[in-house]
Structures are given as structure tokens and as C-alpha cells.
Amino acid sequence: MRGKGKAVTDLSTEEKIKEAAGKVFTQKGYAATRTRDIAGEAGINLALLNYYFRSKQKLFELVMAEKLEKYFGVLAPVLNDASTSLETKVESIASKYIDLIIENPELPLFVLSEVRNNPEHFIKLTEKVDFLNQSVFLQQIAKKRPDIHPFHFLVSLLGLCLFPFLMKPALLRIANLKEKAFIDMMLERKELIPVWMKAILKTKSVLPVIQNKRLKL
Amino acid sequence: MRGKGKAVTDLSTEEKIKEAAGKVFTQKGYAATRTRDIAGEAGINLALLNYYFRSKQKLFELVMAEKLEKYFGVLAPVLNDASTSLETKVESIASKYIDLIIENPELPLFVLSEVRNNPEHFIKLTEKVDFLNQSVFLQQIAKKRPDIHPFHFLVSLLGLCLFPFLMKPALLRIANLKEKAFIDMMLERKELIPVWMKAILKTKSVLPVIQNKRLKL
DNA sequence: TCAGTATTTAATCAATTGATTAAATAATTT
DNA sequence: AAATTATTTAATCAATTGATTAAATACTGA
């Protein structure tokens, strides 16, 4: 049945559906998404969706892989750059992540939710690339603060960048912010976070040093 | 039909269902939850659920209100305590929040997801209590750092506490951590975060001071 | 143009799911 | 114990939803 057809048209329709699926899935999550919503959003008939992608699940997996790639794609190249300082890396991650999420505000909640629901997606993505554990970034941190597990700092950095987007709906309400003011705050954070991370990395050790928590490097 | 019956039995069954609903809803979210799952989890028949709570939606609203109360209940009393220092408040929030989420690991993702899907829940909770904007906590921050919107610090504090739980599944995998090691890290954070927040509050100003971003206090 | 192929659609199916109902069972009261 | 009321259940309903099918339409190359 399904042929390759004219490449341009083919790609266009297929892409249109995938685009719509990306939008609806990220907004409502897998379970709350109806294939009819996607079809409607794409301006096509429901059957066409299954014609192109066989099933909701298959379509979702395509979208998910793309979103995961987007979400973690910011990190990978920076973390393993041996030619930049730790400070530069922090600046780069904060800046790129915040820009990315301003353009894709629902990405973090979507990825975190669906990774929890279907860890296998995330596992498949990471099983090939062990980019993180042996990364230059973590080594640079470990060198500076051998007393604290380096993931403390990575998680803190990501939390400072991403968490505001996660609590954005709540924040807009309780802080009485408008959309524009929120974006401005996030842009401010591109400058604030590197300063803060620097300060955090400089703090005096407070943890008991009973166990040696240094990574195997 | 539905009578009050024997108070003890009544409460027990009703509570059993609500407990089960809380568990399933927080684990899977509203859309992915089947009323039959809840009934199964509670060890009762499906019809009994509707007999007690009329509908899935009604039951969910009860659970949601409870979870919201739990989630934000940590903050309210601390933020408005005029008798404690800013430093003490930060310590208290970090400690209480981390303890709470260790006991209820799925709470943050559940609350954040469902608040996005149904902002009215959150709105209903907050419309009465304007505890945050005029809080002692924000005033103490604004006094110390009039150059930066105080919500920057609140969001940072919450992010440092909560974000690790949000990316826990990813973290366990990429950092090669076991459950126990993760909990230990979070306990460490109860000490680290206050130190970090202190350092953050001390950083030199880096933002342009064109607009006066001071709150109306 | 027209045969052949690709694309799109309306109609329909079967499974799932939230909700209801009427009947059975258990508890309580008199 | 009998009557009354409360609790629980199996069976069923109607709507939703993912998926399929067969037919119609648009497109392409000879």
C-alpha cells in the first residue's frame, strides 16, 4: 500500500503530522492525547495518521526520541569539550538551555513526565552514549571540589535553569507576573546562574569526609 | 441511597479508596489513571468508587486538593514567621521539603503536571491565601538584595530542593546511582543548600539597574 | 489522455472505560 | 428474629478511542 511517492509531498504530509503530534503530545502528555487531536491539529484525517505511522505508540516514539535529543542535545557537546574552562561551560549551558526552553516551554515537563512513565525511552537514548560519567565537565568539578559528589553541582545547575519553567504556571500566579516579565527574568538568569554557580563552587566544605566520594576517573 | 452508616466503617472504606486514588493518581497522572486501577488498588469493586465519590473527576479533586495542601503546606508557615532570620528560614524549607519529598517522591512531578493541565485547582487554592507576595521571607530577601527580584531566590531555593527528585529516574541511570545513594545525596543537600543559598545571596550584583525591580512592600 | 500508482477520506469495528442499575449481602435496630 | 437500613457486588450501558477497510480522489509518467 504505502509507497515512497513524490518525496516532497510525502515528506511534507508526514512532517506535518509529526509536527502536530509533537505539539499535542508535549502539551497534554501521551495518555491525554487523542489521535484525533493530532489529526485535527495537522489538518488531516484520522486514518492518515495510522497510514503513515501505524499507531499512536509508534508516532509517539518518534516524537519522544526527537524531544529527548533536543532536551539533552544541549548538554552533550559542552560537557566533553576539553578546550574550555569549567566557568565557560557553565555559562554556555545556562545560556543555551534557557534559550532552548524559552522556545520550547513545555519541553522539560514533557520529558520528565514521559521518562518517568517510560524509562525505556531514556535508557535507549543513553545506552550508547556514556557521555556524562566520564565527561570533562564532571572531572573539572571533581578537581575543584573533591569533597562533594560532582552530580550535586550538575543537578543544581540544571535545576537553576529548568525549574523556573516547571513552576511557571504557579509562578505567574503567585508572583503576579506576566508572560513578558517571566521571560525577562529567565534572560536575567542567564547572567545570574553562572555567578551563582561560581559562588556555590567556592563554598567551604560542610559535609563529613568519612567516605571518599570521589568518582572513579 | 447513600447513608452515613456506622462512622468507623464508613470512614475506613472511604479512606481506603481515597488512599488508593492518591497512590494511583500521583503515579500515573489523571489521564492515565483508570478507575478500575483505583478500585483494584483499594481492594473494592468499581461501582463502590462511584457510590462514594460520584465520579473520577470528583475523587481526583479531593486527592488533588490534599496533595496541593501537602506540597505547599511546607512553605506557608515558614515564609510568614516574623521571628526567624532569613538564614533559618532557608534551612527550615530545605530540610522540611527534602524530608517531605523523600517520603512522597512522586509528589512534585504530579503537582506540577496537574497544575499545568488544570490551573484552576491551583488557583482555587491560592485565591484565598496571598501568603507569598507579602511574606516576611520575600521582604527579608528584598532587603538583602534590592537589586534582584526576590522570586529569583525563592525559585532557586525550591529548584535546588525539588529538581533532583524530578530528574531522579534520569539521574539514577546516568550517574549510576542506587536508590540508597540518591537518598543520601538528598540528605546531604539539606546541609549544602543553605550554604549555597547564603553564597548566592552574597554575590555581587551583575544585572543592569535600569529598572527598579523592587517589590511594592 | 489514460492507465497505474499514490494519497486521502468516510464509514465502521472492537476494545476500553467511566458510570449506572438492580439485586444480593451485611449490619443495625426494634 | 424480623424489619429496616447500609454496604457491596455482578452485569450492563453508552461514549470514547485506537485502528482498519474499502472506496474515492489526486497525481504521475507513457
Q: Does B113 touch chain A (CB under 8 A)?
A: yes
Q: Which set of grid coordinates corresponds to residue A29?
A: 502528555
Q: Do B160 and A162 touch (CB under 8 A)?
A: no
For A150-165, the pLDDT digits (tens) are 999 999 999 999 999 9
pLDDT digits (tens, 9 = 90+) for B117-134: 888 878 877 776 666 778
Residues lining strand D, beta carbon within 7 angstroms: A 6, 9, 33-36, 46-47, 50-51, 54-57; B 1-6, 9-10, 13, 44-48, 51
pLDDT score recorded for residue A129:
63
* pLDDT-wise least confident of A170-179, B169-178, B206-215: B206-215
B200·A203 Cβ contact <8 A = no
What are the distances in angstroms from CA B202 to CA A203, B3, B79?
A: 11, 61, 20
pLDDT of residue A10: 41
Q: Which helix (H) or strand (E) holds A11?
A: helix A7-32
Q: Which nucleotide is nearest to B43 (CA to C1')?
A: D8
B211 is written with which cell numbers?
A: 529598572
What is the average pLDDT value for chain B, to the nearest integer?
A: 88
| Backbone dihedral angles phi then psi of residue B120, each to the nearest 5 degrees | -60, -30
Q: What is the DSSP letter of A204?
A: P
Measured between alpha carbons, how far is A57 from A73 in angstroms, rounded to an integer? Answer: 23
Task: Check whether A172 has a pLDDT greater than 70.
Answer: yes
- What domains are defined for chain B? 1-54 (1.10.10.60), 60-202 (1.10.357)
Instruction: Look up the pTM and report it.
Output: 0.90
CA of B52 to C1' of C25 (A): 18
Going from the C-alpha of B162 to that of each of A131, B11, B93, B106, B214, the distances in angstroms are 25, 33, 11, 11, 27
A90-96: Cβ within 8 A, 24+ apart: A90/A157, A90/A193, A90/A194, A90/A197, A90/A198, A91/A194, A93/A157, A93/A161, A94/A157, A94/A160, A94/A161, A94/A189, A94/A190, A94/A193, A94/A194, A94/A197, A95/A190
Is residue A8 over pLDDT 60? no
Average of per-residue pLDDT across A59-82: 93
Q: Do A167 and B126 touch (CB under 8 A)?
A: no
Tell me what the mean pLDDT of segment A166-185 comes to.
93
Nucleotide nearest to B4 (CA to C1'): D6
Contact A131, A190 (CB under 8 A): no
Our measurement of CA B128 to C1' C22, in angstroms, reads 44
The answer to whether B18 touches B59, Cβ cutoff 8 Å, is yes
